[in-house]
Chains A and B, each alone.
Chain A
């Protein structure tokens, strides 16, 4: 912000003091006019700075805290879905009534009147720039958060396919962040549902490295600690080759070629029998 906003001189602050004085003298008319301009349907933008903060900034000869207060108020407005136009309009609504008050108070002193106009414009610009910049920044952050959340859910679904059986299909590249998330999500689901068997389906994983292979093993170990047995399915020939070349210890990991065989194994372990009455007769 400092690189675009012009420096504030003592004269500017004298001007701001006049602005504040005029505002104080005409506060009732100004707020009435602002309210009239606002209408009923426009969301109320709560004042991010009060008269006392304004006065303090003039005394301290520093508008920094005022700008910081504006920036600090913006995330709340973004959260409440107040559009940027509403914020800028709210700021603009103040201009007309304030200008009228300057004209009324400083008509006999043209230099003072001009200075009040000029410094108020300068302050309004600074606040508008700060608000718009903070708004854009916050919006981008909110969007990114939302995207990350959706991606997390999409990339690591845990499906209860049957009583006691969970399937976790892995799709795409597994990195350590995703690996950690999927482990946490899987363990939470196991404890919530009391699942006994987890089928880890890696059909959609194109390649693995040592880290990912070790992650499969860690997941299996952690799942066992919360009382579930892991079946690994869908290892492609390429992945199998890599695992052998890497010499990753997959001992003790129960593996099946595809999801169907894994599911059959899970049913067998739980004592289910798949039966189609009448199928043999036909």
Chain B
């Protein structure tokens, strides 16, 4: 599994690498679910800083990951979307309408800690 899953407190940080083969994308959902199972994460952060290009497959996976972690009871935020990736996602109709988005990892974590308290 080439996608690092980092735990910061009760937040799971999923950092997508720039190059992600489809086989790894397919494994991503199950490995995130494995991690979420059992432990009580309050937040999930999906960081796309390293991602320069998305296709519909990766776009759908990001959307599904966000939906999954929200269903598992974790606040979910997607961060680090570049202008080019944002335009592609909108053109693909995968603009993540029900997911919180923040400019970068720092702001994503800040949002999670804000929503943590309430």
Contacts and interface: CB of A to CB of B under 8 A. Distances in A.
Interface string B89-118: 111000111000111100100000000000
A105 to B, nearest CB: 65
A222 interface: yes
Contacts of A133: none
A226 B103 contact: yes
Contacts, number: 53
Given A190-B103, A194-B103, A225 B79 contact: no
B81 interface: yes
Interface of A is mostly: helix
Given A191-B82, A221-B95, A222-B95, A227 B103 contact: yes
Contact of B90 (A194, A196, A218): A218
Given A218-B90, A222-B95, A227 B83 contact: no
B86 interface: yes
Interface of B is mostly: mixed
Contact-size category for A? 10 to 19
Interface stretch (A49-57, A153-161, A165-173, A180-188): A180-188
Contacts of A188: 83
A224 interface: yes
Interface string B14-30: 00000000000000000
Interface in A181-227: 183-184, 187-188, 190-191, 194, 196, 218, 221-227
Q: Which 9 A-B pairs have the closest CB atoms?
A: A187-B83, A227-B103, A225-B86, A221-B95, A222-B86, A227-B102, A225-B81, A222-B90, A221-B90
Given A191-B83, A225-B86, 6 more contacts: A188-B83, A190-B103, A221-B97, A224-B101, A225-B90, A227-B101
Interface of A: 183-184, 187-188, 190-191, 194, 196, 218, 221-228
17 contacts: A187-B83, A187-B86, A187-B87, A190-B83, A191-B83, A194-B104, A221-B90, A222-B83, A222-B86, A222-B87, A223-B86, A224-B101, A225-B78, A225-B89, A225-B101, A226-B83, A227-B107
